[in-house]
Amino acid sequence: MSVSNAKEAVGEIYNLSSMQHAQQMSWKAIEQIARIIEPGMRESQAAAAGKQILTELGMQRIWHPLLIRFGANTLKTFKQRSEGDPELGTNDIFFIDLGVVWDGHEGDAGATFVTGSDAEMIECAAAAKTLFDQVEAYWRSARVSGVELYRYAKSRAKALGWKLNLDIKGHRVSDFPHAIYRAGDLGDFSACPNGGLWILEIQIAHPYWPFGAFHEDLLV
């Protein structure tokens, strides 16, 4: 990997295979956490159970708080607190967002899930992943800047009938801690992002019902 931009600097132990391992472990954790979340559980209970699963999987440390959002809280951004401690319903929507260090490298992943059979919620959860896949494919094929990626994401979200939250525009990851590089958001990065260094985040809102969906993963 050729790094020509200071915003893509890495530490001494960084390597791409370790980033991919952190990515794989993060998705394994999300799958296991999602399986134990069920109607009647509160957000705080889900978060506590999720942290236990991360410990059992052998995480090194948490580098950003484990966020599990239920219902209307799926509209909240990372920096916003959940409203109350809602109980997950039998027809409901939730997402998991975790940031965990595995073997010195930062994993970061997020996905949305649905309980029950509410068609609007199922469609919304699927749309976040669809939009992520389309933006990722555009990055692979067109090799555009981070700024252009989020311009494209906004355009595609509108075409698909969803509202893209542009307060969430992706970020750097690396060998821990990436924060020393002060790289800013992916959506403000003026160069084409290299693989293995950036998280693409997609958060959408339903056009009229009070819920949304979230998906994020490593561009690699």
What CATH number does the domain containing 186 carry? 3.90.230.10
Tell me the two tokens of residue 42: 């509160």
Give the Cα separation of 110 and 68 in Å (integer). Answer: 10
Alpha-helix residue ranges (DSSP H) falling in the chain: 16-36, 43-56, 119-142, 146-160
Q: How does strand 198-205 pair with strand 92-102?
A: unpaired
More confident site: 33 or 179: 33
Beta bridge partners of 68: 96
The neighbour count for residue 178, using CB atoms within 10 Å, is 23
Chain segment 49-85, per-residue pLDDT in tens: 999 999 999 999 999 999 999 999 999 998 899 999 9
Task: Give the pLDDT confidence score for residue 4 in this predicted structure.
Answer: 53
CA of 102: how far to CAs of 1, 49, 170, in Å? 21, 19, 20
Q: Give residue 5's pLDDT band: very low, low, confident or very high (50, 70, 90).
A: confident
Does some domain include residue 1? Answer: no
Query: Which residues form the domain of 40?
Result: 6-219
b/e burial code for range 47-62 (CB count within 10 A of at least 16 → b): beebbebbeeeebbee
Quick: pLDDT tens for 99-144.
999 999 999 999 999 999 999 999 999 999 999 999 999 999 999 9
Confirm whether 156 is domain-assigned. yes
The pLDDT tens digits of the residues spanning 8-49 come to 999 999 999 999 999 999 999 999 999 999 999 999 999 999
What's the rounded Cα separation, in Å, for the pair 152 and 164?
A: 11
209, pLDDT greater than 90: yes
Residue 2 has pLDDT above 80, yes or no: no
Percent of the chain with pLDDT over 70: 98
Domain-embedded: residue 110: yes
Q: To the nearest whole number, what is the mean pLDDT of the chain?
A: 96
Task: Provide the domain count of the chain.
Answer: 1
171 part of a folded domain: yes
| Listed residue (57, 54, 50, 17) closest to 36, CA to CA | 50
Residue from 111, 108, 104, 106 nearest 130 by CA: 111
Q: What is the pLDDT of residue 181?
A: 86
